[in-house]
């Protein structure tokens, strides 16, 4: 592939180099748009995690943190589209669920009605 590019550049000179550079930049931008941003996923997932953490707390009660976390992670994985499942793993989801739980505990303390069915 490199040999072909070098031959093209040797024949057409700076014009070919400029054209190839433009094509490469456009390809990178196209790929970047196709790959979902983890920041965007995290923004989308935050309210979902809050709801799932609250549901798990209502369902399982206290003292069974691992069971609640497993429940939340399983539900999140089921909600993710296939393209996100290949870039997001359960460790990433667990970290976000723990963060959501910390935020939820503060909100539950301020407004206990959030935990009521």
pLDDT of residue 93: 92
Tell how many helices (H) and how many strands (E) occur in the chain: 6, 0
**Within this chain, do residues 29 and 64 fall inside the same structural domain, yes or no?**
no
pLDDT of residue 17: 53
**Within this chain, do residues 30 and 74 fall inside the same structural domain, yes or no?**
no
Q: Residue 91 class from Cβ within 10 Å (0-12 exposed, 13-18 middle, 19+ buried)? A: exposed
- How many whole angstroms separate alpha carbon 100 and alpha carbon 117? 19
pLDDT tens digit sequence for 2-58: 566 556 656 665 554 555 555 565 566 666 555 567 788 888 889 999 999 999 999
**Domain that includes residue 23, residue range:** 2-34
pLDDT of residue 50: 92
**Within this chain, do residues 19 and 45 fall inside the same structural domain, yes or no?**
no
**Could you tell me the two tokens for 32?**
């970047």
């Amino acid at each position: 592939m490199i040999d072909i590019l070098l031959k093209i550049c040797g024949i057409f000179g700076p014009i070919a180099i400029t054209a190839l550079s433009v094509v490469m930049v456009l390809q990178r931008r196209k790929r970047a748009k196709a790959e979902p941003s983890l920041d965007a996923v995290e923004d989308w997932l935050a309210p979902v995690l809050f709801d799932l953490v609250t549901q798990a707390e209502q369902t399982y009660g206290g003292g069974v943190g691992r069971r609640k976390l497993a429940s939340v992670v399983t539900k999140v994985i089921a909600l993710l589209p296939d393209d996100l499942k290949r870039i997001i793993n359960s460790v990433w989801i667990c970290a976000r669920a723990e963060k959501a739980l910390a935020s939820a505990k503060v909100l539950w303390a301020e407004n206990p009605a959030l935990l009521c069915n």
